[in-house]
Structure 1
Amino acid sequence: MFSPTLLDVLREDRLLAVLRGGDADALTACAAVLAGSGVRAVELTLSSPAGLEALRRSAADPALPPGTLLGAGTVLTRDQARAAIDAGARYLVTPGVSEEVLAEGVAQDVPVLCGALTPSEAMAAVRLGATAVKLFPAYAVGGARYLRDLRAPFPDVPFIAIGGIALDHVADYLAAGAVAVGVGSPLLREAAHDSGPAALAALAARAGAYLAATSGQEQA
């Protein structure tokens, strides 16, 4: 059976869910709800120890839908990259250009979505073997308009826009040429620390809304 790669999934679904928080139980529950709602690319950040623990638990969950790709975000060092891969990460995400994380990803054949903000950083990310370039923080530098301008000299580089992307901005980023959008706090909201039924039901509804916003969008 064909097993889709990370870029296959991002090009088809156009959505990467970013889970950040300090409660491993809540993050694990969020990952399960998002995957059950049809979100196939889920990133758990390492900005707190809870992220790595939630990644480990989620990767070992037999109920996780087949085809779900779990990754580790905010990966800053080679040691973090190794720990994330050992915990079950299928890809790594960095906030900026990290040569050691990219080198570990290449060595272990694990895709790296490398953070970049400028043309020079995008060039460095590609040169070092990034699978895609993560434009971060997208909203702070002009949003979709900046992405369109940045993408002009790099038409063949897959860009993923992340950072403050509200639901009503999704279409703009995709029209500007993003392969996908990464969404964190606008998607998670209270579910990042509340694993109660109401919070998780609201998360599932927001996931459905984001998937609806990305479906049928042609890549520029």
Structure 2
Amino acid sequence: MERSQLVSTVRSHPVMAIVRGTSAQASLDAGRVLLEEGIRLVEVTLTTPGALETVATLRAAAPEDAYVGVGTVLTEDDVTAVVEAGGDFVVTPAVTPAVAEAARRGLPCAAGAFTATESYAAWLAGAEVVKLFPASVGGPGHLKALRDPFPQIPFMAVGGVGISEARAYLTAGAIGAGVGGPLVGDAASGGSLDALRDRARAFASWAADAGERA
């Protein structure tokens, strides 16, 4: 993925699935289901067992228009590991050293921030997208307040975001949403893949409609 593609992909498919599990095999299975059901952005967090191997496997099997990245990326060494695994993008929980390192390597980054100062710091460090996290603390109103002084920054809402919340964040100016529990549920820890498949279809359908309206 080219750096500029992250923003355009989130705009056209405004759901990034967050796979954070306790089982390497279950996480891989969950990622496969998400891609099969039309989710086009999948993030596997580094806190998940076997995360980098999962990313490499999913990336090799992903549709041409789908991207698989790595979340909870903190350090420069983490970025190196993502590059070696073939990850398409990185996601950080804060303005970590990984943000500038990803920019230096030409790897797209969605950097976590909550305040105006953090958001601007993430943008200056080279993040293509600023991940408002945890979004649920301030809600869509907080996002709108950040968008007013920073209209040039593409924001994505992450943390406590389901379909109804995602609609509200897009209305407030977000380009998309990162979704963990409301979409992935417990599938990455051995939960039902059939239930995940149903949720993924619903989110993919909503994302396709929202992307067309963007």
TM norm. shorter chain > 0.5: yes
Partner Cα distance (1:14, 1:60) in 2: 22
- The equivalent of 1:214 in structure 2 is 207
* 2:106 is the alignment partner of 1:109: yes
Structure with the larger RCO, 1 or 2 (CA within 8 Å, 6+ apart): 2
- The equivalent of 1:30 in structure 2 is 30
* 2:184 is the alignment partner of 1:188: yes
Shift of 1:24: 1.0
AA partner of residue 193 (structure 2): L
AA partner of residue 14 (structure 1): P
User: Unaligned stretches of 5+ in structure 1?
Assistant: none
Q: Is the 8 A contact 1:59 1:87 kept in 2?
A: no
- The equivalent of 1:155 in structure 2 is 151
AA partner of residue 105 (structure 1): A
Shift of 1:147: 0.8
Task: Select 1:126's aligned residue among 119, 123, 126.
Answer: 123
Task: Select 1:80's aligned residue among 68, 78, 81.
Answer: 78
Q: Is the 8 A contact 1:139 1:165 kept in 2?
A: yes
Shift of 1:145: 1.3
Q: C-alpha offsets along residues 179-219 of structure 1, whole Å, 9 cap, x if unaligned?
A: 00110011111211126xxx222112111212233333344
Shift of 1:17: 0.6
3-state DSSP of counterpart to 1:60: helix
Map of 1:15-54 to 2, 5 A cutoff?
A: 15-54=15-54
Q: Which moved more, 1:48-57 or 1:159-168?
A: 48-57
Partner Cα distance (1:202, 1:178) in 2: 28
Q: Is the 8 A contact 2:159 2:179 kept in 1?
A: yes
Task: Select 1:96's aligned residue among 94, 97, 100.
Answer: 94
- The equivalent of 1:145 in structure 2 is 141
Q: Is the 8 A contact 2:31 2:58 kept in 1?
A: yes
Q: Which moved more, 1:200-209 or 1:11-20?
A: 200-209
Q: C-alpha offsets along residues 56-85 of structure 1, whole Å, 9 cap, x if unaligned?
A: 222233xx2222111000001111111111
Q: How many equivalent residue pairs?
A: 209
Partner Cα distance (2:67, 2:207) in 1: 18
Shift of 1:44: 0.4
| TM-score, reference length from structure 1 | 0.89
Q: Is the 8 A contact 1:10 1:180 kept in 2?
A: yes
Partner Cα distance (2:116, 2:69) in 1: 25
Partner Cα distance (2:131, 2:81) in 1: 21
- The equivalent of 1:200 in structure 2 is 193
| TM-score, reference length from structure 2 | 0.92
- The equivalent of 1:164 in structure 2 is 160
Q: Is the 8 A contact 2:91 2:112 kept in 1?
A: yes
Q: Is the 8 A contact 2:134 2:158 kept in 1?
A: yes
Q: Is the 8 A contact 1:188 1:203 kept in 2?
A: yes
3-state DSSP of counterpart to 1:95: coil
Q: Is the 8 A contact 1:171 1:213 kept in 2?
A: no
Q: Which moved more, 1:173-182 or 1:4-13?
A: 4-13
Partner Cα distance (2:119, 2:27) in 1: 30
Give identity over the alignment, percent: 39
User: Unaligned stretches of 5+ in structure 2?
Assistant: none
